[in-house]
Amino acid sequence: MTASVKIFSTVVITLYFFMGTLHSAQAVHIVLPDFTKLQECGTYQNAAALSGDKLQLDAGEIVVLAGIKTPEMADKSTAYKKWPMAETAQKATAAFIAGKKIDLYCEKPSPNHLGQKIAHVVIDNTIWLQHALLLGGHAWHYARIADPDVFALLYQAEQKARRNEAGIWAQNARLSLLASAETATPGQFQIIRATVLSVTKRGKKIFINFGKDWRTDYTVQMPVSLLDGYQQRGIPVMALTGQHIEARGWVEWAGGPQIILSGYNQIQLASCDTENC
C-alpha cells in the first residue's frame, strides 16, 4: 500500500468521466471518506468487472463492492435471468477501473464464506468507486454494517441519483407506497416505503407489518439481536407503529413477501408526502 492513500479525510472533488454506455461526459462530485477504520487489503492493477458490484483481480481473487448492490448479471449455468440494467452497471464499473490502479479497504469480516473480499475501492487515489456508481444511478445503497460517516455519504449519493432520476431510478424513481404480492419479486433486491401498521415480537423475531394481511402486503422481519443497534442509530423499532419508513433488502417468500433484515442500515425513517402515503 502506498503511503499516499493510507489516510483519507473527507474530500470533495469534481471530475469528468466518459461512460461508454452513456455516450456523454458527466460532471461528478466524488468524496473520499476516512477509511482508517477499515483494513487495507491490497493495491492491484488490471482488475476486471464481472458485474457492477463484483471485480476479479489479476490473481483470480473476487472482490465484492461493500455498501452497494447493483443489478445482477445472469448466471449462464442456471435459468437465472439478469436484472434490468445489469449490463449498464457492469460497463460503468469496467469503464471506471480500466487500466487503473485500485486500492482496497476491506470491511470485517473479510473474506466472506465464499473466500471473496468485501471492500471499498479507491481508483488512482481519487475516485471512490461505490460513491461514483451510486451517483450515476448504477447501484442501490446496501450497507448492512458500516461506519456512520461512510453510510451517510453513500446514502446521500443514492438520494441525489434518485432525485435526478439517473440510471436505475429512471425506471423506478418513485418508490412503491406499499408493494403487494402482485409486484413482489422474490430473489431480487427491493426498496419499499410505507407507513407501519404494527410491530410484533414472536420469540427471537420481530415483524414490522404494513398491512392487515401478510399474505398480500410486505412484512419486514428482523432478529431481536438487531434491536439495540437500531436503537443506537435513532430507530426505535418496537415504537415504529404509525411511522413512515423505508426498508431495503432481499425479497423472500414466506406465505407472503418479506424483506428479512440481516444487518443495520436497512431501515431508515422517511418523509411522508402525497406521493408516498
Q: What is the CATH number of domain 3-170?
A: 2.40.50.90
Beta bridge partners of 106: 39, 119
User: Where does 189-269 sit in CATH, by number?
Assistant: 2.40.50.140
Domain boundaries, the chain: 3-170, 189-269
Say what the pLDDT of residue 142 is. Answer: 87
**pLDDT at residue number 185:** 72
Judge if 3-170 and 189-269 fold alike in CATH terms. Answer: yes
Taking phi over 0 as left and psi of -120 to 50 as alpha, with beta for the rest, 162 belongs to: alpha
Q: Which three cell numbers stand for residue 232?
A: 443506537
Q: What is the pLDDT of residue 79?
A: 62
Report pLDDT for 113.
80
Q: Which residues of the chain have pLDDT under 70?
A: 1-30, 76-80, 144-146, 171-184, 272-277
